[in-house]
Structure 1
Amino acid sequence: AAATELGPGAGVAIHDVVDTRHAPALAEEVRERFGTVTILVNNAGNHFKKSIEETEEDEFRNLLDTHVTGAYALTRAFVPGMAEAERGHVLFTASMASFMGLPKVFAYTTAKAAYLGMVRSLAVDLSPKGIRVNGIAPGFIETEISRKAFEGDPQRKEKVLGRTPMRIFGKPEDIGWAAVYLSSPAARFITGVVLPVDGGMLVGF
Structure 2
Amino acid sequence: MKGIQDAVAIVTGGSTGIGRSAAIRFAEEGASVVVADVNVDDGEQTVAAITDAGGEATFVETDVSDEADVEAMVETAVETYGGLDFAFNNAGIEGETGSASEQPTTNWERVIDVNLKGVFNCMRAEIPAMLESGGGSIVNTASIAGVVGFPGLSPYVASKHGVIGLTKTAAIEFSGDGVRVNAICPGVIETPMVQRSQEDSPEQMEQVKAATPMGRIGQPEEIGDAAVWLCSDDASFVTGESLVIDGGYVTQ
**Common topology (TM > 0.5):** yes
Deviations 1:137-165 (A, max 9, x none): 11111346645754775642342123211
The correspondence of residues 43-192 of structure 1 with structure 2, limited to 5 A, is 43-47=90-94, 48-143=96-191, 146=194, 149-150=197-198, 153=201, 155-192=203-240
| Residue 36 of structure 1: aligned partner | 83
Does the CA-based 8 Å contact 1:139-1:197 persist in structure 2? yes
Question: Bigger shift: 49-58 or 108-117?
Answer: 49-58
The number of residue pairs the alignment matches comes to: 204
| Residue 18 of structure 2: aligned partner | none
* Aligned: 1:203 with 2:246: no
SS of equivalent to 1:118: helix
- TM-score normalised over the length of structure 2: 0.75
For residues 90 and 141 of structure 2, the distance between their equivalents in structure 1, rounded to whole angstroms, comes to: 5
For residues 201 and 107 of structure 2, the distance between their equivalents in structure 1, rounded to whole angstroms, comes to: 27
Question: Bigger shift: 6-15 or 110-119?
Answer: 6-15
Deviations 1:97-130 (A, max 9, x none): 0011111000000000001111111100010110
Does the CA-based 8 Å contact 1:18-1:70 persist in structure 2? yes
Does the CA-based 8 Å contact 1:119-1:133 persist in structure 2? yes
For residues 184 and 166 of structure 1, do their structure 2 counterparts lie closer, same or farther at Cα, with a shift above 3 Å needed? same
Question: Bigger shift: 177-186 or 49-58?
Answer: 49-58
For residues 143 and 74 of structure 1, do their structure 2 counterparts lie closer, same or farther at Cα, with a shift above 3 Å needed? closer
**By percentage of residues, which structure has more strand?**
2
**Alpha-carbon distance, 1:52 to partner:** 2.1
| Residue 66 of structure 2: aligned partner | 19
Does the CA-based 8 Å contact 2:84-2:133 persist in structure 1? no
Does the CA-based 8 Å contact 2:210-2:216 persist in structure 1? no
State the structure with more CA Rg.
1
For residues 195 and 50 of structure 1, do their structure 2 counterparts lie closer, same or farther at Cα, with a shift above 3 Å needed? same
For residues 191 and 136 of structure 2, the distance between their equivalents in structure 1, rounded to whole angstroms, comes to: 30
Deviations 1:153-178 (A, max 9, x none): 56423421232111121111111111
SS of equivalent to 2:213: coil
Does the CA-based 8 Å contact 1:13-1:30 persist in structure 2? no
Output the aligned Cα RMSD.
1.9
Does the CA-based 8 Å contact 2:88-2:139 persist in structure 1? yes
SS of equivalent to 1:12: strand
Percent identical across equivalent pairs? 33
- TM-score normalised over the length of structure 1: 0.91
